Chain A
């Protein structure tokens, strides 16, 4: 079974910018995968190469085993892309836009699926509205529908929820989850790390055109040092033997690293011996944002 998406030594140079500096990545069929990274990291460039909107300077990329340059027609048939920019054709209505997109992929009688898309994306009552007259959120939904109109096995969403209201985000993710359950591979870029954390099984982090982290979401989160013990102490004083664990403190609140739950017992014992009372206590797990910040810091640059 070929990988849904495969990149090998993928590089892209624009005139003055080295946007991708050798990307190696495999995304298996059926995965829900997040590509994260700060602005300018190269996420959109990576997606553009997959879609044939940009040509790689070096290296190669495949979609479902089809080379995006040599076998571009088959590669594009396998791929549905929701572009980052909110683009639309002002000449046409929602339904016309979808029929055209469907026809471009060689599908003529596709009305049942188009109706289903309209329904699931909350566009049913806008089907005959001109694209110009839709709000930004509605246009975004049409972009999603356009990407899905040929039922591509691999779906790429480039920041689909940027500037989108909560309701649409919820319904969009419910729909994309369903597609993923039905076997579609999903590649997602987003600025909302909590979305990636909730949705994606695996995450790659990109910085300045390089993959700086690539792992299962659970493993990234569970990595040692990411668990925390938050304490409110009276008096506000931390015994010297615990200072090595200190991650942050403000006033009488202390945040300690807790790599292993078994250590909780000894920490509390140390506090008791030092006559420090624990007034409040909470165990927290690092979220993807913490991991992201740490990875980006450690990746230097």
Chain B
């Protein structure tokens, strides 16, 4: 067997062993959003005809959890290894750059998707969700988690300390995910902010994901996929180039 599978196995075990923090905690956070926002807004907001607010909210919450946790997994794994120095254990073996990249990326996606499933499962206790186009759901979940898994790899390699990572988290990841239509349809925004939202790639991830459930969305799922999938491919390529350059990892 190749070393790749063992590295992937290790990366998955790493979050699996501390599931309470890495899976259960984000599921609980999403559940709190769901309960609070739907309690406040259920009676007042109907974004799509026939879709209640808590149902509308669910896909966005699931996708947001997928993205944040995919990012958190690769970035925190890399920075922890760098700071404790045990990154040498994965730098010494004969991994190709692609194997190294894919192990971290797939583990990040796995954690993102697992948390997403958890949020979906818990959310379904409180609200019903149709399942219009499962293939779109899967396509968006995979490509969007890959995008944020890659961003996590960049951040984890670039950051020298946890503060740097927290900065990326607070100033890039949180705004991108929150200002993407998780809690509202961007059609309810003033035209300027609608235009700004269209520049946010996360908007397409959430919008397309929502299409997978309801069969309705703000923009065509094809347009969204034409933005998200190439983004995932480009970022993967960029991460591969970064690893090959040895940036910060191999002086």
Contact = CB atoms under 8 A, between A and B. Distances in A.
B251 A87 contact: no
A51 B246 CA distance: 13
A198 interface: no
A77 B94 contact: yes
Interface stretch (A22-30, A88-96, A185-193, A220-228): A88-96
A178 to B, nearest CB: 23
B5 A101 contact: no
A87 B86 contact: yes
A81 B92 CA distance: 8
Contact of A103 (B5, B17, B18, B96): B5
Contacts of B251: 14, 48, 53-55
A76 B92 contact: yes
A272 to B, nearest CB: 64
A117 to B, nearest CB: 16
B94 A73 contact: yes
Contacts of A53: 88, 91-92, 250-251
A14 B9 CA distance: 35
Contacts of B85: 83, 85, 87
Interface stretch (A104-112, A118-126, A159-167, A168-176): A104-112
Given A90-B84, A100-B6, A51 B92 contact: yes
B1 interface: yes
A100 B92 contact: no
A101 B93 contact: yes
B95 interface: yes
Contacts, number: 77
Contacts of B93: 76, 101, 104-105
A55 B96 contact: no
Interface residues of B, number: 28
Interface string B67-81: 000000000000001
A74 interface: yes
Contacts of A108: 1, 6
B94 A76 contact: yes
A12 to B, nearest CB: 9
Interface string B53-69: 00000000000000000
Contact of A104 (B7, B246, B250): B7
Contacts of B86: 87-89
Contact of A89 (B2, B89, B250): B89
A2 interface: no
B246 A105 contact: no
Contacts of B10: 100, 103
A217 interface: no
A49 to B, nearest CB: 9
Given A53-B91, A53-B92, A103-B6, 20 more contacts: A48-B251, A53-B88, A53-B250, A53-B251, A54-B250, A55-B250, A83-B85, A88-B84, A89-B81, A89-B84, A91-B17, A91-B18, A101-B89, A103-B1, A103-B3, A103-B9, A104-B7, A104-B93, A106-B2, A108-B6
Q: Which 8 A-B pairs have the closest CB atoms?
A: A103-B6, A104-B93, A87-B85, A73-B94, A76-B94, A104-B3, A54-B251, A89-B86
Interface of A: 14, 48, 51-55, 72-74, 76-77, 79, 81, 83, 85, 87-91, 97, 100-101, 103-106, 108, 146
27 contacts: A14-B251, A48-B251, A51-B91, A52-B91, A53-B91, A53-B250, A54-B251, A55-B246, A55-B250, A73-B94, A83-B85, A87-B86, A88-B86, A89-B81, A89-B84, A89-B86, A91-B18, A97-B89, A101-B89, A101-B93, A103-B1, A103-B5, A104-B3, A104-B7, A104-B90, A105-B3, A108-B6
